[in-house]
Amino acid sequence: SWAGGVWFTPVGSRTVGVKDDRQYPLSYISCILSGSDGLLYQALREDQGLSYASGAFSAPGEDTGFFAVFAAAGSDKFPRSKDAVLGLMDRISSGELSAEDILSCRNKLLSQYAASIESSSSLSLNIALDGLYGLGFNYHEQTPSKIKAVTPESIKKCAEEFFGRLDRAIVEILPKDLR
């Protein structure tokens, strides 16, 4: 049994590969949900006191990728936390994002990308992986414009497509007393 009856719920969906530009709206969704300024933290921790850890991430793969949202909380709060996570995913799918959230994520994603290719070794790794995946050795030069090209409509469309899927996975890792 776990101390304090901790639970952990990842909610995931199969998404896109590295050659698909829908990876960029998915990155925005991850950014909007994650971090201490993200919607998950605000809704689950600040507003409702339900979760002590939460986040989201998008991982495009060679052919297909995945998107996951997770939350961890005490066992007495897990049903409400799960409902809150799914509610946020529905909210994003219906386009309920502020222009401020989107602009903030755009700036954050651009800054993170610039930092990720700042050193010679990290730039070399990016160039090598882009070549390996068939994107071209100068693909890294297109990434900032692809990040900037994301619109509220493309975010909503990706959220509708991937969060409304019947084949999404919801995994509940529960303490013994809740099984």
Res. 3 pLDDT band, cuts 50 70 90 = very low
Determine the 3-state secondary structure of 35 from DSSP.
coil
- Chain segment 127-157, per-residue pLDDT in tens: 999 999 999 999 999 999 999 999 999 999 9
d(CA 35, CA 42): 9
pTM of the prediction? 0.87
pLDDT at 29: 95
Contact between 95 and 156 under an 8 Å Cβ cutoff? The reply is: yes
Kindly give the pairing relationship between strand 169-170 and strand 6-14. Answer: antiparallel
Residues 21-78 have pLDDT tens digits of 999 999 999 999 999 889 999 988 888 888 888 889 999 999 999 998 888 877 777 7
Task: Please give the helix or strand (H or E) that residue 70 lies within, else none.
Answer: strand 66-74
